[in-house]
Amino acid sequence: MKRIAALCALCVSSFAAGRAAADGVIKIGVIAELSGPFADVGKKIDDGIKLYLRQHGDVAGGKKVQVILRNVTGPAPDVAKRLAQELVTQDGVDILAGFGLTPNALAAAAIATEAKKPMLIMNAATSIITSKSPYVARFSFTLPQVAAPLGEWAAKNGIRKVFTIVSDYGPGLDAERAFGKSFAKNGGTVVGGVRVPVQNPDFAPFLQRARDANPDAVFAFVPAGDQGIAFMKTYAQRGLAQAGIKLVTTGDVVEDAVLDAIGDSALGVVSTHHYSMAHESPENRAFVKAWVEAFGPAARPDFINVGAYDAMEAIFRVSKKLGGVIDPDRFMAEIKGLEIDSPRGHIFIDPATRDVVQTVYVRRVEKKDGRLFNVEFEKFPDVKDPRD
Ligand code: PHB
């Protein structure tokens, strides 16, 4: 019965896809976390898309581009799968996009394969996602891509013993493994670690354990947004910095959008990531200027906004190349090897894995003109997801 339902879904999908093309519209079905504790992740995706459309209009390859936005409500794989199915069968989308959280991306990948729909990841960052469907490509980053360089940097910069704190799901486990491996390879020792609940964690007992282990530094990954603020506040309250325990993190914890809320306790934190609002380049200066014009003087673009913005650039570029006709296999062939001069720097999509290859920057939180920024001071060029 299930099989028949799936087949019917596909009949409907080819009908719907034909209808979309006949309408002269390219439809993008965006699945994003727009409510619940991860609502800021979905909103960042939406804002990145909005800025792109504001700057570039809504026509690509001679066709109108229509974004159909759906709220997946949090880490909710069943909802993500149902929404992907509905977007394909009822709305007749040509492309699936969005996906702030790993569980949602993993669940929707099966639909991308069944329905042959390109699926562009705007944030979700567990390594394995792109291997789940030949129609998935990623424009954000992976946790191993940024955590492995940090392990190397930490070991080469006087940090000998580290205690790890990660969120207990795909990206956290990826970060823990990749950091630990490269830290050990470069002479460091992980003296202990904890995995914290994905939803609403209380960081206090975990940071106490970290303090009791008396490492040189704590390594941390938590999903970007409110959790970064909570983690950093608890880190300050528990007196780890006063005890001489340094903090190294992936950029998620101290992302641009939360630095104002964290305040001065973030000063000096070293992180690795693929985008900083303070990145020095003409592309980024133009992007930040446009961001502030669109969202107000206090608004700060961050890496999730940039992931969404770059995925839109890819959709527009490939749609133009294909003359507005979204054949899924031709679309994916164009995505493979695509290069973008992004606000984060030059990126390209590895044809073998459909994953993004990019520079990973080492940054330190510093104050400039009274405001906190992740200031880049070292870089690892052309980093691929390590896939190990
Ligand atoms: C993910 O669920 O893959 C994820 C979410 C937030 C991040 C990074 C990764 O900051």
DSSP class per residue in 145-211: HHHHHHHHHHHHTT--EEEEEEESSHHHHHHHHHHHHHHHHTT-EEEEEEEE-SSS---HHHHHHHH
Whether 303 and 47 have beta carbons less than 8 Å apart is answered as: no
224: three-class secondary structure by DSSP: coil
Ligand 1 contact via 171 beta carbon (within 6 Å): yes
* 278 Cβ contact partners less than 8 Å away, ≥ 6 residues apart: 363, 368, 373, 374, 375, 376
Per-residue pLDDT of the chain (388 residues), as tens digits, is: 344 444 444 444 444 444 444 468 999 999 999 999 999 999 999 999 999 999 999 999 999 999 999 999 999 999 999 999 999 999 999 999 999 999 999 999 999 999 999 999 999 999 999 999 999 999 999 999 999 999 999 999 999 999 999 999 999 999 999 999 999 999 999 999 999 999 989 999 999 999 999 999 999 999 999 999 999 999 999 999 999 999 999 999 999 999 999 999 999 999 999 999 999 999 999 999 999 999 999 999 999 999 999 999 999 999 999 999 999 999 999 999 999 999 999 999 999 999 999 999 999 999 999 999 999 999 999 999 998 7
Name the residue among 369, 152, 374, 148 with its Cα closest to residue 268: 374
pLDDT recorded at residue 387 = 83
Nearest atom of ligand 1 to the alpha carbon of 126: 3
CA distance to 141, 222, 339, 356, 363, per residue, from 310 (Å)? 12, 23, 10, 11, 22
> Separation of 109 CA from ligand 1 center, angstroms?
16
Whether 217 and 247 have beta carbons less than 8 Å apart is answered as: yes
Q: What is the C-alpha separation between 294 and 311, in angstroms, rounded?
A: 19
> Separation of 2 CA from ligand 1 center, angstroms?
32
> Separation of 8 CA from ligand 1 center, angstroms?
33
Nearest atom of ligand 1 to the alpha carbon of 41: 6
- Give alpha helix (H) positions in the chain: 2-22, 39-56, 77-89, 102-115, 143-156, 170-185, 204-212, 226-237, 256-262, 282-295, 303-321, 328-335
Ligand 1 contact via 122 beta carbon (within 6 Å): no
Q: Is beta strand 217-221 parallel, antiparallel or unpaired with respect to 161-167?
A: parallel
> Separation of 319 CA from ligand 1 center, angstroms?
28
Burial class from Cβ neighbours inside 10 Å (0-12, 13-18, 19+) for residue 125 reads: buried
Q: What is the C-alpha separation between 189 and 163, in angstroms, rounded?
A: 9
Name the residue among 6, 239, 252 with its Cα closest to residue 123: 252
> Separation of 243 CA from ligand 1 center, angstroms?
30
Task: List the strands of the sheet with 95-98, edge to edge.
Answer: 59-60, 63-71, 25-32, 95-98, 119-121, 136-138
> Separation of 224 CA from ligand 1 center, angstroms?
7
* Region class of 296: left (phi > 0), else alpha (psi between -120 and 50), else beta: left
pLDDT recorded at residue 263 = 96
Write the residue with the smallest CA distance to atom 6 of ligand 1.
Answer: 223
Residue to mutate (ligand 1; options 33, 106, 123, 132; most atoms within 8 A of CB)? 123
Dihedral sign from CA coordinates of 206, 211, 212, 216: positive
Residues facing residue 195 across a β-bridge: 166
Ligand 1 contact via 335 beta carbon (within 6 Å): no
Ligand 1 contact via 125 beta carbon (within 6 Å): yes
User: For the packed helices 170-185 and 102-115, what is the interaxial angle rounded to 10 degrees?
Assistant: 110
pLDDT recorded at residue 388 = 78
Q: What is the C-alpha separation between 317 and 139, in angstroms, rounded?
A: 14
Residues in the chain: 388
Q: What is the C-alpha separation between 56 and 53, in angstroms, rounded?
A: 5
Whether 144 and 174 have beta carbons less than 8 Å apart is answered as: yes
CA distance to 45, 144, 276, per residue, from 388 (Å)? 28, 9, 27
pTM of the model: 0.94
At 29, list the tokens. 């079905």
Contacts 24+ apart (CB under 8 A), 381-385: 382/357, 382/358, 383/145, 383/146, 383/148, 383/149, 383/357, 383/358, 383/359, 384/145, 384/350, 384/353, 384/355, 384/357, 385/127, 385/142, 385/144, 385/145, 385/353, 385/355
Nearest atom of ligand 1 to the alpha carbon of 169: 2
> Separation of 252 CA from ligand 1 center, angstroms?
8
Write the residue with the smallest CA distance to atom 3 of ligand 1.
Answer: 124
